[in-house]
A and B are shown apart, each in its own frame.
Chain A
Amino acid sequence: MATDIVFYFFSLITVFAAVGVIASRNQVHSVLFLVLTFFNTAGLFVLLEAELLAALLVIVYMGAVAILFLFVVMMLDVQFEELRQGAIQHLPMGIFVGVMILAELIVILSGVHLDHHAVEVTAKVSNTLAIGQVMFTKYLLPFEIASLILLVALIGAVVLTLRKRTGVKRQNISKQLARTRDEAVELVKVTSGEGAKP
């Protein structure tokens, strides 16, 4: 009874915020609605007693991903009204993605889900421990591959954005300290009447 009330509370706000993401005219409001959606989804996870997933959702998506979204949206100052002009030509793609997600949801809800992979969580073992135990034994290889993919993405982002600016007179202390007398001082014989030649 009490759980039902809390469930509908979180769900209503989630749906309302999700609609707000696509409906609001101001793009910063959209991102803030997205954050609200994340937070209430975390609340739903808590109701499912998946508290680790809830905490990770808040830490990763609210604490890092959405902040970066917010940064980009605030700084770029995209005029969404102009983008909306040609939005209709993306409609087939949008319908395709929507139908795919709907089909997946129907498949899951109709019971053809991967139940035999599920690990039973008993009351004695917290789900942090349960997830950790299967992640580092049964699913070790997929876990490591996922981490490698993330590493590749990380390095790729660095490579794409790193640029050495030429012509910047930045102080390089190790270079300064590595100088020897021979490179730094040049002795020139100055003939009188002509001055030193460069």
Chain B
Amino acid sequence: MPEYLKEILGIVHGYGEGFFGLMLWTLIWTVVKIVILLAPVLFMVTYITLAERKVIGFMQVRFGPNRVGFWGILQPLADAVKLLFKELLLPEKVDKSVFFLAPALTLVPALVAWAVIPFSPGIVLADINIGILYILAISSMGVYGIIMAGWGSNNRFSFLGGLRSAAQMVSYEVSMGFTLIPVVLLSGSLNLTDVVNAQKGVWFVVPLLPMFVIYFISVVAETNRSPFDLPEAEAELVAGFITEYSAMSSGLFFMGEYANMILVSFMGSILFLGGWLPPVAMLSFIPGIFWLAFKAMFLLFVFLWIRATFPRYRYDQLMRLGWKVFLPISLFWIFLTGLCMHLLGMA
């Protein structure tokens, strides 16, 4: 952080503490930091929808949205306004509390998890020792929103979609968790900043390439993206657990999905692609936060690329892939990583 910024921050802290008192000011300052962190995330959530439509349009030789604003640049705002002003329908005999809690419970974990993401050295909201476990814990909460939506809607299609999604997310959480263990072994820490610092010599994607591939496929399944978007397979289940939701309550589900996509892209960049480290030392004049954002953008692009390329998996194929292919490979790779580290005298 540059010196003048530190000085300005010191002055702001001095005034704040004098005006509000230490305790209240700490609270206010934390809220300010959370807003500074989440505003860009929500901005990205809005604009990834446009990016998705543009990229898929390009891949299918179409234009994508190009009417609202120059090059369709205002389309996400038009969509948001549309969603906000639509009527919120409440179907009969739904479980009201569960029905309205579900969309919020999908979006909130996707935003809460950002607390431990380090953007560059020292720029992190909560630099906790168990960052990776925290992310795993928070992302395991995301499934409740979907299963509650499925059950609370009092609709068979929704219920089937919710059940599918719950089974899918729990299964892929297992293989995703196992791909993170070699990373933890190599870096010797659960702290995300330490994980990035451990990649100064070589990015973990090089020794752990199969783990990176499995991680990426698992998070595609975990975020219910195509080709694993079985929960909302529209040909069989109408729209799955979203069927009964209207207006902004369905919008929250989509926001949660996109926020999760961005989150796992940043996680993938931090865990395997060296976080804020530049690929060669020569390029280190570009600030680290741009490198991290660039890597995450690339992974996000791959998400969209996959969606435009692959047909949807069948449900039994999905389960077989998770349990019978990914799980043994990642277990074996944990063993192999440990063995190599032992033989090379790293541990």
A interface, CB within 8 angstroms of B:
1-2, 26, 28-29, 32, 35, 39, 42, 51-52, 54-56, 58-59, 62-64, 67, 70-71, 74-75, 126, 128
Would you call A128 and B163 a contact (CB within 8 A)? no
Closest chain-B Cβ to A141's Cβ sits at a distance in Å of 21
A28 touching B98 in the complex, CB below 8 Å, given contacts A67-B170, A128-B129: yes
**Nearest-neighbor residue (CB-CB) of A2 within chain B:** B23
> Which residues of the other chain, A, contact B151 by a CB distance below 8 angstroms?
28, 74
Would you call A55 and B136 a contact (CB within 8 A)? yes
Partner of A58, one of B128, B141, B148: B141
Would you call B134 and A55 a contact (CB within 8 A)? yes
Would you call A32 and B148 a contact (CB within 8 A)? yes
Would you call A55 and B130 a contact (CB within 8 A)? yes
The 5 A-B pairs at the shortest CB distance, nearest first, are namely: A63-B140, A58-B137, A55-B133, A126-B129, A55-B137
1/0 contact trace for B210-226 toward A, CB 8 Å?
00000000000000000
In the assembly, what is the distance between CA of A51 and CA of B134, in Å? 9
In the assembly, what is the distance between CA of A52 and CA of B128, in Å? 11
A1 touching B140 in the complex, CB below 8 Å, given contacts A28-B151, A64-B170, A67-B170: no
Would you call B137 and A52 a contact (CB within 8 A)? no
**Nearest-neighbor residue (CB-CB) of B162 within chain A:** A74
> Which residues of the other chain, A, contact B262 by a CB distance below 8 angstroms?
none
Q: Is B111 an interface position by the 8 A CB rule?
A: no
B interface, CB within 8 angstroms of A:
23, 95, 98, 128-130, 133-134, 136-138, 140-141, 143-144, 147-148, 151, 159, 163, 166, 170, 173, 190
> Which residues of the other chain, A, contact B166 by a CB distance below 8 angstroms?
67, 70-71
**Nearest-neighbor residue (CB-CB) of A26 within chain B:** B95
Would you call A59 and B136 a contact (CB within 8 A)? yes
> Which residues of the other chain, B, contact A62 by a CB distance below 8 angstroms?
137, 140-141, 144
Would you call B140 and A51 a contact (CB within 8 A)? no
> Which residues of the other chain, A, contact B144 by a CB distance below 8 angstroms?
32, 35, 62, 67
Partner of B170, one of A32, A54, A63: A63
Would you call A52 and B141 a contact (CB within 8 A)? no
Closest chain-A Cβ to B292's Cβ sits at a distance in Å of 24
In the assembly, what is the distance between CA of A67 and CA of B146, in Å? 11
> Which residues of the other chain, A, contact B128 by a CB distance below 8 angstroms?
51
Closest chain-A Cβ to B165's Cβ sits at a distance in Å of 11
**Nearest-neighbor residue (CB-CB) of B23 within chain A:** A2
> Which residues of the other chain, B, contact A70 by a CB distance below 8 angstroms?
147, 166
Would you call A59 and B147 a contact (CB within 8 A)? no
